[in-house]
Structure 1
Amino acid sequence: MSVKWAMGDRTENALLALPGLLFLALAFFLPIGQILMLSVSGPHGPTLDHFARFLGDPFYLGVLWRTVRLSLIITVICALIGFPFAYIMARVGPRLRLWMVIVVILPLMTSVVIRTFGWMVLLSRSGMVPQILRDLGLAERNFSLMQTETAIVIGMVQVLLPFMTLSILGVISRLDTRLEEAVRTMGCSFLGAIRTVVLPLAMPGVVAGSLLVFTLSASSFVTPNLLGGTRIQVLAASIYKSVTQTLDWPFAAAQSVILFVGVLLVLVPYAKMTARSHG
């Protein structure tokens, strides 16, 4: 009798999940399938020429490497800033925590384009940041941060930092503070308690935030394109150029597949290692 009930529950659960699975297939798997088919389409049938063209051109390989490298740098910086900020938010009083959360969330209510234009003003040759560096004698007269990888990193960290901070905050806020107190009473320093207790327990939040930041930065187009310009090109901008300027849709699809696979090659081993170590 219990077996029949279990089978009935499974059937009911499957029927309830069916609309969501169908929607997921239409909204996610169907476009990916179309991109895969387009990436191997040629004038005389299926071909891998588009992938060979990308992998055989040092320019496109450099664009791919720049995209992955900048995404890793942005992820590390967001983690280094987001973890202490999330820890402070989790340990302050409720009223101050509310205001700090508002400060973190408030930039998300402004368009990424507007925030990027703000950075363009600040980082341009006549902007505030280069002017301060020139006044301090740290930069030359014509110094500008625009159209550099540094500008892309600064803009992307500001855009993606809330995702990292909130992901870590959700984990640290659930940790029992008595664990830290117990370690401190046994002679451990504050930084030692953070390193041995808080950081290992907060690692799921760090992993979740890192996955979000890396994937969003690797596929970002607006901020890298505006701050980096045409000279510092990332893969999303290269895909956009192939679609809008050269009208080479199969090659753009091949670049999209390579970007997707490249992100998976970085994320899957990272997720498996952290899952094995921290559950």
Structure 2
Amino acid sequence: MKSDRAENALLVSPGLLLLALAFFLPIARMLMLSVMGPEGFTFSHFAEFIREPYYLNVLWRTIRLSFIITLISALVGFPLAYIMARAGPRLRLWLIIVILLPLMTSVVIRTFGWMVIFERGGIISSTLYDLGLVKRNFTLMRTETAIVIGMVQVLLPFMTLSILGVVSRIDEKLEEAARTMGCSFLQAFRHVVLPLAMPGIAAGSLLAFTLSASSFVTPSLLGGPRLQVLAASIYSSVTQTLDWHFAAAQAVILFLGIALTLIPYFRLTGGRHG
């Protein structure tokens, strides 16, 4: 028994060491920077963030866009995951390949592709102009719509695969029993599949929200400097104003905000699903 515990401790120690060096140590350093000033311990950096309407707007934009992106990803990903779970082996394989294929391409390259599509003279602008729906100088670049579309495309595979793992384990006989009792397809889907798939939806939503809230590349390229999110604001504080303490304070706010999303997740899943 003792030897088993020693072996388990030996096996887990490299992972714990890596976690300590790559996660806990940087987080601790960030926390120290956020409360340190020229005269020692201070909360002035957090007070500055709260006092400035600009940074509060950045924080609100980050939360609002992350929620919208997560909601759209769930609305698209859940039906797609259900179709994949109920499809035949060959169709399921091809759908999984289609879902995973974007992950094999750098997010920077995919975002540049969206920039070409959204820019003036791109496919969307030209098509809408030919239909007489917009003016010649119309562009989706540097808009929140562009950020949402680009981020949904990035996060949809994570949402779909998180839900797929749960939906695949739902017994089809439960749906058949509901249909036998007089439920329509939509009623069986709503009262049987949706509640049982909730752990997967919650896990996928948590993953999509956290990745969206902390994303830097796609929002920066598609939104531009005028529509900054919190991650871009942190980057600006480090590289432009060289204010590491204020950047650390913003990072702590972002970290705490993401950590708070675990509360509704555990309430939805009852703390039983990871």
- After the TM superposition, which residues 24-63 of structure 1 pair with which residues of structure 2 at under 5 Å, given as runs? 24-63=19-58
Equivalents in 1 of 2:188, 2:110: separation in Å?
37
**Residue matched to 2:265:** 271
Match of 1:170, as an amino acid? G
Confirm or deny that 1:151 pairs with 2:146.
yes
Q: Is the 8 A contact 1:41 1:250 kept in 2?
A: yes
Q: Is the 8 A contact 1:200 1:278 kept in 2?
A: no
Q: 1:69 aligns with which of 53, 56, 64?
A: 64
Equivalents in 2 of 1:94, 1:138: separation in Å?
43
For 2:132, what is the secondary structure of its paired residue? coil
Q: 2:196 aligns with which of 183, 192, 201?
A: 201
Q: 2:116 aligns with which of 115, 118, 121?
A: 121
Equivalents in 2 of 1:231, 1:94: separation in Å?
47
Confirm or deny that 1:103 pairs with 2:94.
no
Offset, 1:136: 2.6
For 2:37, what is the secondary structure of its paired residue? coil
Q: Is the 8 A contact 2:151 2:212 kept in 1?
A: yes
Q: Equivalent pairs: percent with the same residue?
A: 71
Offset, 1:130: 1.8
Equivalents in 2 of 1:21, 1:127: separation in Å?
49
Change (3 A) 1:135 1:51: same
Q: 2:172 aligns with which of 177, 180, 189?
A: 177
**Residue matched to 1:252:** 247
Equivalents in 1 of 2:178, 2:130: separation in Å?
47
Gaps of 5+ in 2: none
Equivalents in 2 of 1:81, 1:64: separation in Å?
26
Match of 1:54, as an amino acid? F
Q: Is the 8 A contact 2:117 2:124 kept in 1?
A: yes
Offset, 1:15: 4.5
What count of residue pairs does the alignment treat as equivalent? 273
Q: 2:18 aligns with which of 14, 17, 23?
A: 23
Offset, 1:276: 3.3
Offset, 1:44: 1.6
Equivalents in 1 of 2:242, 2:169: separation in Å?
51
Equivalents in 2 of 1:20, 1:134: separation in Å?
55
Q: 2:217 aligns with which of 219, 222, 239?
A: 222
Equivalents in 2 of 1:97, 1:269: separation in Å?
34
Offset, 1:12: 5.0
Equivalents in 2 of 1:32, 1:8: separation in Å?
34
Equivalents in 1 of 2:201, 2:111: separation in Å?
26
Equivalents in 1 of 2:97, 2:184: separation in Å?
31
Q: Is the 8 A contact 2:100 2:157 kept in 1?
A: yes
Match of 2:106, as an amino acid? S
Gaps of 5+ in 1: none
Equivalents in 2 of 1:277, 1:14: separation in Å?
25
Post-superposition CA distance 1:37-67 (Å, at most 9, x none):
1111111212111111111100000000100
Offset, 1:23: 2.3
Q: Is the 8 A contact 1:203 1:278 kept in 2?
A: no
Match of 1:198, as an amino acid? V
Match of 1:143, as an amino acid? F
TM-score, structure 1 as length reference: 0.93
Offset, 1:175: 1.4
Q: 1:240 aligns with which of 235, 238, 252?
A: 235
Match of 1:273, as an amino acid? R
Equivalents in 2 of 1:81, 1:115: separation in Å?
19
Match of 2:263, as an amino acid? P
The 10-residue stretch of structure 1 (187-196 or 137-146) with the greater mean CA deviation from structure 2:
137-146
For 2:225, what is the secondary structure of its paired residue? coil
